[in-house]
Structure 1
């Protein structure tokens, strides 16, 4: 019986260690892709930064492109749980807010947090896509997923009866303002705080999208 308990303990410990290794590898890959670019980063460098052997990286992810994909997924969600972004608690709270103005303010705060995690990596994917067809496909997938997600937000906004523009226009406005470019410009380059950025984004969305809002408010 004791031997069986020991085997279960060893198995649990190995599983936990493998999970920790994966997270360290993904965090190291993210940092290196942002700092020096996807093309210039080697699996050996990722392994060294994560404190594991290159073979461990290949065993967990097989290819550098898969490593980039999983690093992106981790950055978007903020953790490695297999829960779609729109089903995560912070987004469910956005959709549960009945007042469209308050909802957009909530969404601006959530989106700002996502930009903190993803904007740099998004830029690395864009640069990689210039010369790597597989990275280009990943970028297209990322953009399709964001377009679909903003469509969900736009439909929900329209359902409140307070949307000042057509649903398709709302989707386009959200898509245009959530790819990381604005966050990089205002926060990274111009020195805005994330709090200031989230407040400005909320005001922009409310003024553009909510019916009956005085732009001077």
Structure 2
């Protein structure tokens, strides 16, 4: 981003020159990522109650004011970590890869396979953070309650859109309503499923992906 500022010309007057803000924006983006990395590490070591904005700022090498500027407080910071997890682990965000698969894939079984892979990828990144938020909210940190409600609402809106496209493709069971299809997708992509199978039972991501793929295929197609 460039904007004009005034500077002296050869005749001693003033003429516009440009100011390149891209370096400042890149530095801010790096700082934001450093804050998210530091906060995630501290949260999983010390818990929500035991993690302070001051400690996060120190670990990230920024000021506490910068953390508040980026995220508005600890609850917003934790949500930022969760939302980064939704991007997945590849350069192209998981949501965009899902959209592309729905547009391009003609084989519904392969689409379910892609969805299973993406669900597992995102859950590995985001479900531990969601579980931390849920448990902290239940322990009395009510500032997280609204964050969780907004996350659920946004996710369900996404599931409804996926369900609508699947029904329009003609590959879904004729008996399914849009709401039922969305509910099934909601279940198979839920952090609670990750908690039971991965955290409690020790499944690995490949096993989770296969379970989600076959489950979605059996329930939806």
TM-score band by shorter chain is 0.7 to 0.9
The higher-RCO structure (CA 8 Å, 6+ apart) is 1
Looking at secondary structure, tell me which structure has more strand per residue: 2
Does the 8 Å CA contact 1:100/1:157 hold for their aligned counterparts? Answer: no
Does the 8 Å CA contact 1:98/1:160 hold for their aligned counterparts? Answer: no
The counterpart of 1:13, out of the listed 16, 23, 27, is: 23
Question: Matches of 1:133 and 1:191 in 2, distance apart?
Answer: 30
Question: Matches of 2:116 and 2:41 in 1, distance apart?
Answer: 25
Post-superposition Cα deviations, 1:187-214, rounded to whole Å, max 9, x if no partner, equal 333332212221121011111211xxxx
The counterpart of 2:119, out of the listed 81, 88, 111, is: 111
CA shift for structure 1 position 77: 2.1
Give 1:143's aligned residue. 152
CA shift for structure 1 position 84: 8.8
Summarize the alignment of residues 1-217 of structure 1 with structure 2, pairs less than 5 Å apart. 8=19, 11-78=21-88, 86=95, 88=96, 90-96=97-103, 97-130=105-138, 131-164=140-173, 165-167=175-177, 168-210=179-221
Question: Runs of 5+ in structure 2 lacking a partner?
Answer: 1-6, 8-17
Count of equivalent residues = 202
TM-score (norm 2): 0.79
What secondary structure, in the 3-state scheme, does the structure 2 residue paired with 1:77 have? Answer: coil
Question: Matches of 1:38 and 1:8 in 2, distance apart?
Answer: 41
Question: Runs of 5+ in structure 1 lacking a partner?
Answer: 2-6, 211-217
TM-score (norm 1): 0.81
Question: Matches of 1:14 and 1:153 in 2, distance apart?
Answer: 38
Question: Matches of 2:119 and 2:99 in 1, distance apart?
Answer: 13
CA RMSD of aligned residues (A): 2.8
Looking at secondary structure, tell me which structure has more helix per residue: 1
CA shift for structure 1 position 8: 4.5
Question: Structure 1 segments of 4 or more deviating over 6 A?
Answer: none
What secondary structure, in the 3-state scheme, does the structure 1 residue paired with 2:148 have? Answer: helix
Does the 8 Å CA contact 1:25/1:46 hold for their aligned counterparts? Answer: yes
Question: Matches of 1:114 and 1:84 in 2, distance apart?
Answer: 10
Kindly name which structure, 1 or 2, has the bigger radius of gyration based on alpha carbons. Answer: 2
Does the 8 Å CA contact 1:153/1:171 hold for their aligned counterparts? Answer: yes
Does the 8 Å CA contact 1:186/1:197 hold for their aligned counterparts? Answer: yes
Does the 8 Å CA contact 1:128/1:136 hold for their aligned counterparts? Answer: no
